[in-house]
Amino acid sequence: MKREKSNQEFERAKRVIPGGVNSPVRAFKSVQSTPAFISHGKGARIFDIDGNEYIDFVGSWGPLILGHAFPAVIDAIEEAVRKGTSFGAPTVKETDVAELICNMVPSVEKVRMVNSGTEATMSALRLARGFTGREKVIKFAGCYHGHVDSFLIQAGSGALTHSVPDSMGVTRGTASDTLLAEYNNPESVERLFSGNQNKIAAVILEPVAGNMGVVPPAPGFLDRLRKLTQENGALLIFDEVITGFRLSGGGAQEYYDVTPDITTLGKIIGGGLPVGAFGGKKEIMDYLAPEGGVYQAGTLAGNPVSMAAGYAMLKFLNDHPEIYKELEDKGATLEEGIRENLGKTGIPGVVNRVGSMMTLFFSNAGQIYSYKYALTANTAMYAGYFKLAVENGIYIAPSQFESMFVSYAHTREDIEETVAKNLEALRILKNP
């Protein structure tokens, strides 16, 4: 596979952009590789500037559930952009989008638009603190909620209760207000509640974790968190930036039938443009300025081009609920194919999947329930697998701890080709 042009462009980019990329994972560092520069996408496929073609399972990291350049979305963007890109004044489409979201996600009675998932979780946290008058927040190791200081936190050595910054530039003061629990371990949450009575504003989590690789909630886990937060006067925040509109029209909360107090959204909601949102019960949302005392704002929030893209995307999903059944079927076919391939080659692996989100962990742990299990994965093996996949035209995430996303645009043939190439790659990994 030719990579000359991409390699040249990467060198050029590195001179003027830190690491050559505008988001670190794009540099392919964790798989000791360098990125292809993409020229365009169509349906399930992307094309790079050297003329290589790939079946894409990254889907811009989640937003492109209908595939690249989906006609209804592109038409809506074209129509909107001709009328002007931003006014900083109300437009009707903002209400259309808000109504649609409130209809699709019933726990969301009011919703505020922002520009990214990070902004959504940052604002949701401030809102939860303002509403409860409490300062601490519980998050789960391995869950990602954007690059908000309060969420760039890891467990310190020793007790889980001592949190430390997970990035330079995050203060220890901030870290001390974020408490870390273990995913799928409700007792770890109970312990934090009993050790911090009347101090915890919220529990935030990905209802299906997608950022430590895919880790589904164990049966009863989400219900248990719902109960624990209620009993302790804390809010339950579902970060549905990935799962919103992906697992079903109503997201993971509909899929698992658990109702959070606040929901954060992003990715799919923007149809591929930069959008995020957070919403919830009226009495909570009314704490936001200008009604209430929790300040939150955005110059470009709800801008007409993003709203047009998001509306077209959500409307299509809302009008075609059968898409979710189709995504489930394609996901299941991919999962079964990869499982069989693991069996045929004898390579140890765990395949976790919920609907159209899936991760193949190169781990012999048998099951991956939480971050500490995810960390058993052999990342060197993943790096080898990644290179073989990309070389064969299958574009997957350049990290073991991410999800593969199946889209409406993937055909049965795309899935079959992917399973066949997965087998080839696993055979080479087994006998290099």
Rank residues 7 and 399 by Cβ distance to ligand PLP and give the closer one.
Answer: 399
Please name the residue that has the structure tokens 């001179």: 15
Give yes or no for residue 271 binding ligand PLP (CB under 6 A): no
Kindly state whether residue 118 participates in binding ligand PLP, applying the rule CB under 6 A: yes
Residues, the chain: 432
Euclidean distance between CA atoms 228 and 203, whole angstroms: 9
Q: Which is nearer to ligand PLP, 186 or 207 (CB)?
A: 207
> For residues 314-333, which are near ligand PLP according to CB under 6 A?
none
Judged by beta carbon, residue 61 or residue 131, the one nearer ligand PLP is 61
Rounded to 5 degrees, φ, ψ at 395 are: -90, 110
Place of tokens 């399930």: 44
Q: How far apart are CA 19 and CA 4, in angstroms?
A: 18
Quote the least distance from Cβ 87 to ligand PLP, whole Å.
23
In Å, how far are 40, 125, 244, 269, 308 from 278, measured between CA atoms?
Answer: 31, 10, 11, 11, 18
Of positions 6, 30, 52, 116, contacts ligand PLP by CB under 6 A: 116
Q: Give 121 or 345: the residue with its C-beta nearer to ligand PLP.
A: 121
**Residue with smallest beta-carbon separation from ligand PLP:** 117
Q: Determine if 287 is a binding residue for ligand PLP (CB under 6 A).
A: no
Give CA–CA dist 27/8, Å, rounded: 14
Instruction: Single out the catalytic residue among 48, 56, 149, 239.
Output: 239
* Contact pattern from residue 194 through residue 213 relative to ligand PLP, giving x for each residue in contact according to CB under 6 A and a dash for the rest: ------------x---xx--
Helices in 61-210 by DSSP H: which ranges?
71-81, 92-104, 117-132, 172-176, 186-195
Burial of 204-220, coded b for 16+ CB within 10 Å and e otherwise, reads bbbbbbbbbbbbbbeee
Number of C-beta neighbours around residue 416 at 10 A: 13
- Tell me if 414 contacts ligand PLP by CB under 6 A: no
d(CA 394, CA 414) in angstroms, rounded, equals 10
Is 144 near ligand PLP (CB under 6 A)? yes
Nearer to ligand PLP, 207 or 349 (CB): 207
Residues 228-267, one symbol each (x = binds ligand PLP by CB under 6 A, - = not), give -----------x-xx-----------------------x-
Note if 144 is an active site residue.
yes
Query: What are the catalytic residues?
Result: 144, 239, 267
Residues forming contacts to ligand PLP in the complex (CB under 6 A) are 116-118, 121, 144-146, 206, 210-211, 239, 241-242, 266, 276
